[in-house]
């Protein structure tokens, strides 16, 4: 079964912290689709 690389690693590393950073680097469009927000706006909200 096909799945995105970061989804396959989710069980190993958890869903957030490490995997969201990897998703942002590897698949910018997937990151935006997953969070439903631009990375810049997400960082502004978190900071």
pLDDT at 34: 81
Residue 40, domain extent:
5-46
pLDDT at 14: 66
| Whole-number Å distance between alpha carbons of 3 and 27 | 13
Confidence band of 1 (pLDDT split at 50, 70, 90):
low
28, 20 contact by CB (below 8 A): no
pLDDT at 37: 83
34, 23 contact by CB (below 8 A): yes
Q: Is the pTM of this model over 0.75?
A: no
| pLDDT tens per residue across span 6-46 | 777 777 766 666 777 877 888 888 888 888 888 788 888 88
How many domains does the structure of the chain reveal? 1
């Amino acid at each position: 079964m096909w799945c995105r690389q970061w989804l396959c690693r989710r069980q190993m590393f958890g869903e957030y912290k490490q995997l969201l950073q990897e998703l942002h680097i590897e698949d910018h469009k997937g990151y935006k689709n997953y969070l439903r927000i631009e990375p810049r706006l997400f960082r502004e909200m978190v900071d």
